[in-house]
A and B are shown apart, each in its own frame.
Chain A
Amino acid sequence: MRSNRMGWGLLAPTIIILFIVGVLPFFYVIYVGFFNWNAFSNQLGMQWTGVNNYRRLVFDDAFLDSLGRTALFAFTSVTIELILGFLLAQTLVKSFPGRTVFRTLFTLPLVMAPIAVGATWRLLTIPGFGPIPYFLDKWFGVDYRIATYAGQAFITVILMDIWHWTPFVTLTLLAGLTAMPKEPQEQAQVDGASRWQIFRHLTIPMMMPILLTTVFIRLMDALRVVDEVFMLTSGGPGAATQFIGIHIYRVVVPKTDYGYGSAMSLLVLYFTIVLCWLLFIALTQSGKQKE
């Protein structure tokens, strides 16, 4: 019993800090979600509306579209990052001259501020002085204007995300591969298993926990992306890259629709938690199976 107290004591600072700067605002958001509150409304102050904000959400096309768009963006980019990252990580397991140099240079985007990443890509894509539109036009005759063509904008945003986050995926997967015991693979090779068989039946299962962890972290961040996309396209053209984070920003900040925006955030948070909970269960399950 006494030692339990010490355990809680060690945990306490963490819990206290998370409570005051994490949970309190969260409760406030729940509270505001039940009100109609807009700085530009005819009625000043907060008007109680019960669950009306949530009822509105279900019929809000802009919101639903944005949710779908975010999901598409997150799944596409995370999948590509995972495949690419896995491939690159495998080439890095064995030492070769220049490996550290490559790895270090490749990790550069990881340390950049998202807002600086957005600025970088904006500089790359502005027609008139960015190199991407210039060379696409010169070499392939492609009219590349992400502020006009929705498809191009969406693809560019995905590319930016891949550029920014593949290094992270590569590093975590590399860590996993490095730590993996070598014996089973060697044994399988001796037994005459093909590369694909080893990969399929040995590497993948053993890497499962770290794969899931990586997906977990990346998905969580991709679903709430704001800074870099806002800097690059501001959610445009039209609403083509208006992901849920930007959508909520637009509702809460320029439109000052605090109540509705809060309700929206809660719903999104709920979806994210459910999604991550499923992943989390999968993660712990696969962890248990291993033991």
Chain B
Amino acid sequence: MKTLSMRKVLRYIGLYTLWIVMVLLTILPIYWMFVVSARSRVELFDTPTVIIKSFFAPNYVKPLTNPVFQRYLINSLIIATSNAVLVVILSLLATYALSRWKLPGSDSIFFWTITQRMAPPAAFVLPLFLLFTSVFRIGNWQMFDTHIGLILLYCVFNLPFAVWLMKGIMDGVPLELDEAAFVDGANRWTVLMRIIAPLVAPGMAITFILSWIFAWNEYLFAANLTSVTARTITTGLAEFVSVTGTNWGEMAAVSMVSILPALVFLVFVQRYIVTGLTFGAVKE
């Protein structure tokens, strides 16, 4: 009895040591960024320390009160949220189709959607630029520098992942449920919305979250396919790298601000991530 509890205690000590170390390793870099964001420009080269002696607020106040910067934040919110909603809806419809019908060639479609995510992004900047500026235009309106442009583009990266994830979950929903509902006289649409959707909701939640995070964080295309109106927060980050001394303090502050919404998100929906992935991953 005594040895057993001894072992248990040791195990707990090991467990907590491991996790405290891991969490510290995770947090310290971010904390350091916070320390830098609290320093004025002349203090940057001070000795590294974990203590924040004084808080240099202008690093935060300056960008946050700047209307241009506020617009970047709003743009990022709009684009990430709309993209995530769109991806959730589309992937729900698509995976329902893939799972309930034996469509010829659907396996290839399934794999093909994923290859979209594999291409090295840099080479696609120019083609997309040309498409957005010259092909997708109606009169004076063009897709370049619009929210809708980025929202659609991010589907290319998010949909494959979403389809993949949701397919597994959808396959896990027994066909008998559909059939029982049909017997009760429900149509496809009702079945999808009333019966299937609630069951795969955790999967939809995680799809939403992951899509949202990706769209919020994307940089290369956002930088190249927008100009003024639809610029996002990540492109704003790069603007602090300037000729006259990279403004590390402000840049760190903006990075902190850019993490915050994603962070709030994470804390609130943390547990759904695990549930959602569980459904998708091993459904046997």
Residues of chain A whose beta carbon lies under 8 Å from any beta carbon of chain B: 3-4, 6-11, 13-15, 17-18, 20-22, 24-26, 28-29, 32, 88, 91, 96, 98, 100, 102-116, 119-121, 123-124, 128-131, 134-135, 163, 167, 171-172, 174-176, 178-180, 206, 209-210, 213, 217, 220, 223-224, 226-227, 244-245, 248-249, 252-253, 258, 261-262, 264-265, 268-269, 272-273, 276-277, 280, 290-291
- Tell me whether B61 is interfacial, beta carbon within 8 Å: no
User: Which residue from A4, A28, A112, A210 sits with its C-beta under 8 Å from B282?
Assistant: A210
Complex alpha-carbon distance, A136 and B249, angstroms = 23
Complex alpha-carbon distance, A7 and B30, angstroms = 47
Complex alpha-carbon distance, A10 and B37, angstroms = 48
A11, A107, A109, A110: residue with the most chain B Cβ atoms closer than 10 Å: A11
Number of A-B contacts (CB under 8 A): 270
Q: Name B266-284 residues within 8 Å CB distance of A.
A: 266-267, 270-271, 273-284
Known: A14-B93, A129-B48, A244-B120. A96 touches B15 (CB 8 A): yes
Q: What is the CB-to-nearest-CB distance from B268 to chain A, in angstroms, rounded to a whole number? A: 10
| Closest residue on chain A to residue B47 by CB atoms | A134
Known: A91-B15, A174-B274. A120 touches B284 (CB 8 A): no
Asked if B122 contacts A261 (CB within 8 A), the reply is yes
Residues of chain B whose beta carbon lies under 8 Å from any beta carbon of chain A: 12, 15-16, 18-19, 22-23, 25-27, 29-30, 32-33, 36, 44-48, 90-91, 93-94, 96-98, 100-101, 103, 106, 109, 111, 113-128, 130-131, 135-136, 152-153, 155-156, 159, 161, 163, 188, 213, 216-220, 234, 237-238, 248, 251-252, 255, 258-259, 262-263, 265-267, 270-271, 273-284
Asked if B262 contacts A111 (CB within 8 A), the reply is yes
Main secondary structure of the interface of A (DSSP, over half): helix
Asked if A28 contacts B156 (CB within 8 A), the reply is no
| Closest residue on chain A to residue B116 by CB atoms | A22
Complex alpha-carbon distance, A124 and B255, angstroms = 14
Q: List 10 A-B contacts (CB under 8 A).
A: A14-B163, A21-B156, A107-B270, A108-B263, A111-B266, A123-B252, A130-B48, A163-B25, A179-B281, A245-B121
Asked if B122 contacts A248 (CB within 8 A), the reply is yes
List residues of chain A with CB within 8 A of the CB of B251.
Answer: 119
Complex alpha-carbon distance, A273 and B222, angstroms = 25
List residues of chain A with CB within 8 A of the CB of B106.
Answer: 11
Known: A96-B15, A171-B277, A268-B120. A113 touches B126 (CB 8 A): no
User: Which residue from A10, A103, A108, A276 sits with its C-beta under 8 Å from B94?
Assistant: A10
Asked if B258 contacts A180 (CB within 8 A), the reply is no
List residues of chain A with CB within 8 A of the CB of B123.
Answer: 29, 248, 252, 261-262, 264-265
Asked if B29 contacts A121 (CB within 8 A), the reply is yes
User: Which residue from B96, B101, B237, B274 sits with its C-beta under 8 Å from A4?
Assistant: B101
Asked if A32 contacts B101 (CB within 8 A), the reply is no
Complex alpha-carbon distance, A96 and B262, angstroms = 26
Given contacts A18-B155, A171-B274, 10 further A-B contacts (CB under 8 A): A25-B128, A26-B119, A28-B130, A107-B273, A112-B30, A113-B217, A120-B30, A172-B277, A179-B283, A223-B118
Asked if B234 contacts A115 (CB within 8 A), the reply is yes
User: Which residue from A98, A128, A210, A273 sits with its C-beta under 8 Å from B115?
Assistant: A273
Complex alpha-carbon distance, A103 and B275, angstroms = 14
Complex alpha-carbon distance, A10 and B270, angstroms = 30
Q: What is the CB-to-nearest-CB distance from B184 to chain A, in angstroms, rounded to a whole number? A: 18
Known: A21-B153, A111-B266, A129-B48. A14 touches B127 (CB 8 A): no
Complex alpha-carbon distance, A171 and B280, angstroms = 13
| Closest residue on chain A to residue B192 by CB atoms | A10
Complex alpha-carbon distance, A134 and B276, angstroms = 42
Asked if B18 contacts A91 (CB within 8 A), the reply is yes
List residues of chain B with CB within 8 A of the CB of A100.
Answer: 270-271
List residues of chain B with CB within 8 A of the CB of A28.
Answer: 127, 130-131
User: Which residue from B22, B93, B98, B258 sits with its C-beta under 8 Å from A113?
Assistant: B258
User: Which residue from B97, B120, B281 sits with its C-beta under 8 Å from A210?
Assistant: B281
